[in-house]
């Protein structure tokens, strides 16, 4: 048994090491964006906060989209952001599960939306790009559809040919990943959650792909999927290896970066960062995109 566990662990390590962050390009026009759900704002895992700050500093991000900034204040987000070189920050709210965004560049045209959203939505403008910080409903597929409909309507109201990025925790499934869910274990897992918590995860007993399908149909590009290598190892973005309460089910991708078609040719790299460090920073893995304006 011990030998078998060692072999499994080795396979996991080898498969995830291919998903490390790409080398940073230091040209003046290069931009690195990271999105990360940080598990209750480190309130349940305070010992991981220092390591997370160190990791963020090492990545040298230019824009950071964050979810689950529980118990954060604007001052706390400013302090964290300053540690990785950002002097511009926006916090959605101070109660519940806030989202936030930090940037090396000025943040303009700030909009906070709460009505019709479970956690809320931030839309800002950075370097001429409209950026949406996403955190959709965690356990209701119908509510997620309502949320994404509002977001897509908001996008449709932007000036023509606007450059757009959606980044965050979408809490839902993409049809391009369906091959990785054919093992059939997620449906009974979510059914158990729905019975236990009176949730609504399953659409007539099945995984719902409709939210991501709407985004794709709108013309936005799933950039991590586009940049997958030919020999791709599915890490998902949740659950990570961090020990947290409860049973979390099989690997699945919940965290995404979508970009408008007029940005695709600017993107140099995009990946879920699944390595021996990020697996223990939060219950979600970070997603990274490098692009060059």
Q: Residue 218 gets which letter from DSSP?
A: T
Q: Is the pLDDT of residue 230 over 50?
A: yes
pLDDT above 90 as % of the chain = 90
Q: Enumerate residues 6+ apart whose C-beta is below 8 A from 134.
A: 65, 67, 99, 121, 151, 166, 167, 168, 169, 170, 256
Measure the CA–CA gap between 30 and 27, rounded to whole angstroms.
Answer: 5
Q: Which helix (H) or strand (E) holds 2?
A: helix 2-17
- Burial category of 228 from C-beta neighbours within 10 Å (exposed 0-12, middle 13-18, buried 19 and up): middle
210: domain CATH number is 3.60.10.10
Name the residue range of residue 218's domain.
Answer: 2-292
Residue 8: per-residue pLDDT: 42
Q: What is the mean pLDDT of residues 216-237?
A: 97
Question: pLDDT per residue over 164-195, tens digit each?
Answer: 999 999 999 999 999 999 999 999 999 999 99
Residue 155: per-residue pLDDT: 98
Question: pLDDT per residue over 8-26, tens digit each?
Answer: 444 444 444 447 777 766 6
Distance linking the first and last C-alpha atoms of the chain: 52
Q: What is the mean pLDDT of residues 43-57?
A: 98
Looking at the chain, how many residues does it have?
Answer: 293
Residue 26: per-residue pLDDT: 66
Q: How many domains does the chain have?
A: 1
Give bridge partners of residue 290 from the DSSP assignment. Answer: 32, 269
């Amino acid at each position: 048994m011990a030998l078998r566990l060692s072999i499994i662990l080795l396979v996991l390590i080898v498969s995830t090491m291919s998903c490390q962050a790409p080398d940073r390009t230091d040209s003046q026009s290069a931009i690195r964006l990271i999105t990360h759900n940080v598990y209750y704002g480190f309130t349940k895992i305070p010992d991981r906060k220092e390591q997370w700050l160190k990791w963020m500093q090492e990545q040298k991000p230019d824009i950071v989209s964050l979810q689950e900034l529980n118990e954060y204040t604007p001052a706390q987000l400013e302090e964290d952001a300053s540690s990785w070189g950002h002097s511009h920050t926006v916090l959605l709210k101070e109660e519940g599960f806030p989202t936030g965004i930090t940037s090396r560049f000025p943040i303009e045209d700030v909009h906070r939306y709460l009505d019709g959203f479970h956690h809320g939505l931030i839309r800002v403008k950075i370097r001429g790009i409209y950026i949406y910080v996403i955190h959709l409903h965690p356990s209701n597929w119908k509510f997620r559809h309502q949320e994404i409909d509002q977001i897509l309507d908001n996008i449709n109201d932007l000036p023509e040919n606007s450059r757009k990025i959606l980044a965050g925790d979408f809490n839902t499934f993409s049809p391009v990943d369906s091959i990785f869910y054919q093992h059939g274990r997620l449906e009974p897992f979510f059914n158990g959650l729905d019975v236990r918590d009176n949730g609504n995860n399953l659409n007539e007993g099945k995984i719902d792909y409709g939210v991501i399908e709407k985004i794709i149909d709108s013309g936005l590009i799933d950039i991590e999927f586009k940049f997958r290598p030919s020999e791709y190892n599915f890490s998902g973005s949740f659950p990570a290896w961090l020990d947290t309460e409860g049973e979390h089910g099989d690997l699945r991708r919940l965290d995404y970066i979508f970009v408008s078609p007029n940005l695709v040719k600017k993107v140099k790299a995009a990946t879920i960062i699944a390595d021996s460090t990020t697996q223990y920073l939060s219950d979600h893995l970070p997603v990274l995109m490098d692009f060059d304006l």
